Amino acid sequence: MGDLDITEVAKRSGVPASTLRFYEEKGLITSIGRRGLRRLFDADVLERLALVALGRDAGFSLDEIARMFASDGRPRIDRKMLAAKAEELDRTLLKLTAMRDGLRHAAACPAPSHMECPTFRRLMRAAASGAMSERTKKAPQPPRR
């Protein structure tokens, strides 16, 4: 009833079966049993997966996310850690916002070459000096396939 086999979970969550096995091995999710060899999951694994996705998106590593789950399976998220992550995200947001504005300007800038655009050069200097980020921090990469 509430049990879903791995294919079902994959289908409903959009997470590939190979990743589900990988997540189980990592302790991010738990299978509730087997039908033959086939893993069975409780339906609440979907919520768990959503939480994992959330953590990933917020910039937590899988290991960090794993540490957030108590042994009883309920999320036990350190509030301090959350606040710290929010802080970090906030700094990232500032930087990315500046970057977006700069890119947008450079894209619309009438200077014959970007090297002659003051805004572009300012951005460049900022990136070079590392002034925008505390240390080398990268913006999100385009989706891998």
Partner DNA sequence: GTGCCACTTCAAGTCAACTTGAGGTCAAGC
Partner DNA sequence: GCTTGACCTCAAGTTGACTTGAAGTGGCAC
We find the least distance from the C-beta atom of residue 34 to a copy of itself, in angstroms, to be 25
**Token code pair at residue 61:** 């590593």
The order of strands in the sheet holding 33-35 is: 3-5, 38-42, 33-35
Q: Judge contact between 59 and 85, C-beta under 8 A.
A: yes
Which of 43, 58, 62, 126 lies at the binding interface for DNA (CB under 7 A)? 62
Which of 14, 16, 27, 118 lies at the binding interface for DNA (CB under 7 A)? 16
Which of 10, 17, 66, 99 lies at the binding interface for a copy of itself (CB under 8 A)? 99
Rounded Cα gap, residues 123 and 133, in angstroms: 12
We find the least distance from the C-beta atom of residue 35 to DNA, in angstroms, to be 6
Calculate the alpha carbon distances from 34 to 27, 38, 144 in Å. 17, 5, 32
Which of 50, 61, 111, 137 lies at the binding interface for DNA (CB under 7 A)? 61
Burial of 4 (0-12, 13-18, 19+ CB in 10 A): buried
Q: Which residues bind a copy of itself (CB under 8 A)?
A: 13-15, 46-47, 49-51, 53-54, 56-59, 61, 74-77, 79-80, 82-83, 85-86, 88-90, 92-93, 95-97, 99-100, 103-104, 106-109, 113-115, 123-128, 130-145
